[in-house]
Structure 1
């Protein structure tokens, strides 16, 4: 999952800072620890990478939070989604590795709605993420990354 997001951000020349299993803390809220979190955008500040939780009141909320598991739990879709809504994360993905599925939510105005195309990773269809997950179950990582590179290359328009 980290390779998919990082390749996409790099090839699209997006500014980003990635965190793995990092804790995020906001005053008055429960602390959270998504499996992957990304600050994305030209205005990104670089929170200090250390063993301390990232203070959301100081650094802002990650643009994207990803929970990865071998099942899709009601906690991921319920309580954690509600927590990310309150924190102000822009997108939240629940990734079921075994089923090779991604349930993604755009978060705005204190609520969320399910999406099929990412906005924080502009125009990334989540179907490509799911296909990469399927391929990762039977192919080596280099083959999956080469496939992703083909998917992420800008398509050229034929001359008229």
Structure 2
């Protein structure tokens, strides 16, 4: 079921968000609408997509697994810092905006929010994340189409789509032509085979903690 605010159509949890014609000003208004505080809001090429932010158990399980994977990976990288910002809004005014499931900054110069600023990261003022990812259940088609083009337009160097039903990770690196090309080895998590992430997903029926521990054992051999 979907419902309509005075201006916007909002998709309920588990449903495919509807992209609706809108302006950048409509997007900003949606971000500032108190009734949409928990929503995930996207804008690209004159279209707005809104879906409620609460996660189902399976989506949450996959999402938390990748937070653990980041932690496990960077514990092996002495002196390398990272910041994981799940669901944080990133935007380039007039270009596009989104709230990826995973936003990863590697190294220093993380975004520092200042009191009084919008609760969004303006990529014209802050550096772009090194990696963003989407947990795809009902949204796989959009994650591989509209959102893929959106994150390329935002200049995100690497984009992951975590396919829940297919138990696989699709990874893309941004090319000089401004488009994504699928890759087998991560550039952000340097040297990490994407196939290893897909293999880790297949263990989720044993719990994401067990899957993460298996992942930790495997990267010890890289």
Q: For the superposition of Structure 1 and Structure 2, which TM-score range results when normalised by the shorter chain?
A: 0.7 to 0.9
Residue 154 of structure 1 and its aligned partner are, at CA, apart by 4.7
Which residue does the alignment assign to 1:46? 110
**Structure number with higher relative contact order (C-alpha < 8 Å, ≥ 6 residues apart):** 1
- Cα 1:71–1:129 change in 2 (3 A) is farther
Contact 2:136 2:143 in 1 (8 A): no
Partners of 1:72 and 1:94 within 8 A in 2: no
**Alignment check: 8 A CA contact 1:21 1:35 kept:** yes
Alignment partner of 2:76 out of 1, 4, 11 = 11
Task: Determine the structure 2 residue equivalent to 1:158.
Answer: none
Q: What SS does the aligned partner of 1:58 have?
A: coil
Q: 2:87 maps to which residue?
A: 21
Secondary structure, in 3 states, of the residue corresponding to 1:21? coil
Instruction: Tell me if 1:105 matches 2:172.
Output: yes
The aligned counterpart of 2:122 is 55
**By how many angstroms is 1:54 displaced?**
0.9
Counting only pairs closer than 5 Å after superposition, residues 52-131 of structure 1 correspond to structure 2 as 52-71=119-138, 73-109=140-176, 110-131=178-199
- The alignment partner of 1:4 has SS state of helix
User: Structure 2, unaligned stretches of length 5 or more?
Assistant: 1-65
User: Aligned residue for 2:34?
Assistant: none
CA distance in structure 2 between the partners assigned to 1:58 and 1:73 by the alignment: 30
Judge conservation of contact 2:91–2:154 (CA < 8 Å) in 1: no
Q: CA deviation at 1:71?
A: 4.4
Matches of 1:83 and 1:71, distance apart in 2: 18
The 3-state SS of whatever aligns with 1:59 is coil
Change (3 A) 1:23 1:134: same
Q: Deviations over 1:90-134 (max 9, x none)?
A: 100111112211111001321111011101101101111111111
- For normalisation by structure 1, the TM-score amounts to 0.86
Larger Rg: 2
Number of residue pairs matched?
152
